[in-house]
Amino acid sequence: MAVQIYTFKITYADCDNRIWRTVAVSSNYTLANLGYMVLATFDTMAYHLFNMKYKDTTYFLTEEDFEDLPCEENEKFDLLGLYKVGNLGMNVGDIIEMTYDLGCCQVFDIELIEISDMPRGHGRAYPKILDGAGRGIVDDMPAFELIEAIRKTDTDGHSGIYYSSDGFDDVPEWDYRNYRVDWDNALLKGIIDRICDGYENYEE
């Protein structure tokens, strides 16, 4: 089957559509790589577990992540790295739900909005951020607290939150309005590679 482009609208749930991205990926992109891209473009520290749910299956990075979970009768578990987005049988309008930080439950709705043909010789152009809003999320802060910080920024011009996904001590004040899609794309692939290495090659 010819390689295609899958375009998704990714929205950070419960934040009044203030933090979102439109992204394009190859149909050969695995669910694991899609997850790493979400963590990269939404400015996370990428140090929590995450999973994705599509239809009746929840996908994890490793079998250890789900082997002890309670399972309902029709619920299935599988591995993120085994499935390409082009092999899921998705239709436009279908949504993958991604949960990052299973304790804090930061949720991203990944909606398929278009499937198109991949132009010949353009495979290396993807993944790519097409549009977006909102600087990103704050690790360990649930959406209901983040929306309050967004509203405070809108009212006062300051969030009162100091956060950097780089983990430096001297960090800037978090401002959700400071998002640049060109900067995001310039760094995206390198950050995805770093996140992938952290999840797949981590040794305790």
Total domains present in the chain: 1
Place of tokens 């203030």: 18
Q: What is the CATH number of the domain that holds 88?
A: 3.10.290.30
pLDDT at 123: 74
For range 192-197, the mean pLDDT: 96
**Residue 24: domain span:** 4-135+179-200
The residues pairing with 109 across neighbouring beta strands, listed in sequence order, are: 11, 97
Strand partners, 188: none
Where is average pLDDT lowest: 16-30, 91-105, 155-169? 155-169
**Confidence (pTM):** 0.92
Tokens of 182: 């060109």
Question: Is residue 45 in a domain?
Answer: yes
Residue 154 lies in a domain: no
pLDDT tens digit string along 69-85?
666 667 789 999 999 99
Residue 32 belongs to some domain of the structure: yes
Does residue 151 sit within a domain?
no
Q: What is the mean pLDDT of residues 153-165?
A: 90
Given a contact cutoff of 8 angstroms between Cβ atoms, the answer to whether 174 and 165 are in contact is: no
* 167 found inside a domain: no
The verdict on residue 157 lying in a domain is no
Give domain status of residue 170, yes or no.
no
**Tokens of residue 195, six digits:** 């996140």
68 pLDDT more than 70: no
pLDDT score of 12: 97
16 occurs within a structural domain: yes
Q: Are 152 and 159 in contact (CB under 8 A)?
A: yes
- The residue among 176, 200, 202, 184 whose CA lies nearest residue 37 is 184
